[in-house]
Amino acid sequence: MNNNENIASQAGQLRIGEKTVNRLGLGTNRITNTKESQDLLIKAVSLGVNFIDTANVYRNGESEDTIGQTLSPYPADLLIATKGGMNGGSPAQLRADLEGSLRRLKTDCIDLYQLHRIDPSVPLKHSLCALKELQEEGKIKHVGLSEVTVSQIEEAQSIVPVVSVQNEYNLVKRQYEDVLDYCSAQGIVFIPWFPLGGLRGDAETVSKKAAQVSEKYKASAQQIALAWLLARSPFILPIPGTLSIEHLISDLESGSVRLNKEDYEQLANI
């Protein structure tokens, strides 16, 4: 592909509400208000990334702030997904979290607002009704959830439509197979966090596993790990996080890696 233009599209597309996004996005939990992070965001968008994941708590608001300062006013096809509720799920807390995100992201409506965690001290119904109210006020377009079980998704869906679920999932962390299968059957977008194993020791285990077939595909272990996720379900939208433009390009190139059935299955075995 010339000049790497639109390489993000090689992974295919998914629909989230009225927007169609490329099936490889960008995770931004480490970006800060530096020239390097701003350049990375601009480069990502120029490569066709049109799904960017952030949260109010990332770097204490600096991730959202950097996205707002660098990319707003947003191109019509760019979907910024953020999250709230990490510090409590009461209606007042969620409203305050959302108002902070709107301010930092320099927008009056969030395309995808994800409940970062369910607060065990607040009935889920109360948190979801608050998000529904904010949606009715036009401040949220679509609601997503994070770190949830199938029964929690079902309960949430009885209150407000759920368009996405973001749970930890990668080649070695597979505790949410049932949630992924449920989302795929329901047409809910599944956003695996730590798609490369994250910053913990899992990254090494993921790489080691993916490296079993990487030579054959002339790909890096990270590319194989992402290609496997893309092959696992058409509803998966990985959001690898990086601070490096070189890694960003490499991650997006994984959309062109097509694993054969045998290799896919070998990697699927835990």
Ligand X SMILES: NC(=O)c1ccc[n+]([C@@H]2O[C@H](COP(=O)([O-])OP(=O)(O)OC[C@H]3O[C@@H](n4cnc5c(N)ncnc54)[C@H](OP(=O)(O)O)[C@@H]3O)[C@@H](O)[C@H]2O)c1
Q: Under the rule (CB under 6 A), what is the footprint of ligand X? A: 27-29, 53, 146-147, 166, 193-199, 203, 222, 239-244, 247, 250-251
Q: Which is nearer to ligand X, 129 or 243 (CB)?
A: 243
Q: Which is nearer to ligand X, 28 or 135 (CB)?
A: 28
Q: Which is nearer to ligand X, 119 or 251 (CB)?
A: 251
Closest CB to ligand X: residue number = 241
Which tokens in the block code for residue 166? 């973001």
Which tokens in the block code for residue 134? 């904010």
Q: State in angstroms the smallest separation of the CB of 251 from ligand X.
A: 5
Q: State in angstroms the smallest separation of the CB of 166 from ligand X.
A: 4
Q: Shortest CA distance to 176 belongs to which of 152, 157, 141?
A: 152
Cα gap 104→20, rounded to integer Å: 24
Which tokens in the block code for residue 124? 């889920």
58 is catalytic: yes
Q: State in angstroms the smallest separation of the CB of 191 from ligand X.
A: 8
User: Which residue in the block uniquely carries the two structure tokens 């992070």?
Assistant: 37
Give, in order, the Cα–Cα distances in Å from 210 to each of 32, 121, 218: 30, 40, 12
HSE (side-chain half, CA atoms, 13 Å) at 103: 9
Q: State in angstroms the smallest separation of the CB of 49 from ligand X.
A: 13
Q: Which is nearer to ligand X, 67 or 239 (CB)?
A: 239
- Catalytic site residues? 58
